[in-house]
A and B are shown apart, each in its own frame.
Chain A
């Protein structure tokens, strides 16, 4: 008479009991992954694969290279040569760290390095280039930051790789470092050089 009281629940649905646990583990795993998933302040550029902004920027007064004044930024300069566009300012501390690396990169004749001088005073900008050497064949002065907004810049330094066809291929937020120069930037430059 002491028949055991059995659940009328079919055995096949027992696994549903574990569903909340499975859900929790999935969410916890996702959060853990994202916690170590890189710096969230580095936002991928919306301009990758798009043509470089058609923004003209004036030259830096008094800046000369081999006796010839260094020209300002004219978007036509991107056609035909792979470019590295560096947004910099003399007041930006990481820019001082990356300047010697850019100067070294400028020895590569397959590419041109273009500077956008962000909200800087001309005197300080010239002094900066005098101190570290001028890697730029073109320097556009962006006094009010409006030109940099066209480039989607939200903090200096930022470095772009622009292909021969004038489309933006890559954007590096933050300074060029010896580590990311070889592992990231040069790789992207090679890609742009070997691409169309």
Chain B
């Protein structure tokens, strides 16, 4: 019973623990709606120092500076896209964890669906051709020719007396 309680407690503690975030209490905005916007934006922005973390996750000083900057701009009435544009103008599109859909990223966005559709089509054609060739087999090949029948008869006849002896 004790063990059960202990394991339940650990499970509850683990599931209840919030995901680790780098946002410090002093950064959080008073307005919860604006703070939620800031969090959503921060998750989309790359920390240029750690590169594979968002500024929401990163403990790097620059990430903190950028989190504060994002909140400042939201507080001063910027829209989400204005905040994003502000950072893209300074750090380039590399700052976006999710690349924009634009002419120079067409290949990036369209390659996976194209590969999927292309592979599906190839598979489709292949299986169709296989079943087609199966149906198209010359029916005469399914039956033995007279010559073969005669040969088979001879072999069976030769086999039968052997077994008797």
Which A positions have Cβ atoms within 8 angstroms of B?
1, 8, 40-41, 43-47, 119, 144-146, 149-152, 154-155
- Assess whether B79 is interfacial by the CB under 8 Å rule: no
CB distance from B141 to the nearest CB of A (A): 9
Main secondary structure of the interface of A (DSSP, over half): loop
Roughly how many angstroms separate A144 CA and B66 CA in the complex, as a whole number? 11
User: In the complex the two chains form, is A43's CB within 8 Å of B49's CB?
Assistant: no
Given A149-B66, A149-B69, are A154 and B92 also a contact pair (CB < 8 Å)? no
Closest to A119 in B: B61
- Chain A residue numbers with a CB within 8 Å of B162 are none
Residues on A with C-beta less than 8 A from B61 are 119, 145
Q: Which residues on B sit within 8 Å (CB–CB) of A155?
A: 48-49, 62
Tell me if B92 and A43 are in contact (CB < 8 A).
Answer: yes
Q: Are B62 and A46 in contact (CB under 8 A)?
A: no
Given contacts A144-B65, A145-B62, A145-B65, contact A152 B145 (CB under 8 A): no
Residues of chain B touching chain A, judged by Cβ–Cβ distance below 8 Å, are 48-49, 51, 61-62, 65-66, 69, 88-94, 133, 145, 147-148
Asked if B94 and A43 make an inter-chain contact with CB atoms under 8 angstroms apart, the answer reads yes
Q: Count the A-B residue pairs with Cβ separation under 8 angstroms: how many?
A: 43
Structural contact, B88 and A46, CB atoms closer than 8 A: yes
A35→B53 CA distance, assembly (Å) = 21
Contact present for A46 and B91 (CB under 8 Å): yes
What are 29 pairs between A and B in contact, CB < 8 Å? Answer: A1-B145, A1-B148, A40-B51, A41-B51, A43-B94, A44-B92, A45-B92, A46-B89, A46-B90, A46-B91, A47-B90, A144-B65, A145-B61, A145-B62, A145-B65, A146-B65, A146-B69, A149-B66, A149-B69, A149-B90, A150-B90, A151-B90, A152-B92, A154-B48, A154-B49, A154-B62, A154-B91, A155-B48, A155-B49
* A43-B90 in contact given A1-B145, A1-B148 (Cβ < 8 Å): no
Q: Which residue of B lies closest to A144 (CB)?
A: B65
Contacts of B91 in A (CB 8 A): 43, 46, 152, 154
CA distance A46 to B95 in the complex (A): 10
In the bound complex, residues from chain B placing their C-beta under 8 Å from that of A43 are 48, 91-92, 94
Residues of B within 8 A of A144 (CB): 65
Which residues from A are CB-within-8-Å of B48? 43, 154-155
Cα A119 to Cα B60 with chains together (Å): 14
* Residues in A whose Cβ lies below 8 Å from that of B66: 149
CB of A1 within 8 A of CB of B147, answer yes
- The residue in chain B whose Cβ has the minimal distance to the Cβ of A44 is B92
Minimum Cβ distance to chain A for residue B64 (Å): 9
| Chain B residue contacts of A149, Cβ below 8 A | 65-66, 69, 90
Q: Which residues from A are CB-within-8-Å of B49?
A: 154-155
Q: What residues of chain B lie closer than 8 Å to A151, measured between beta carbons?
A: 90
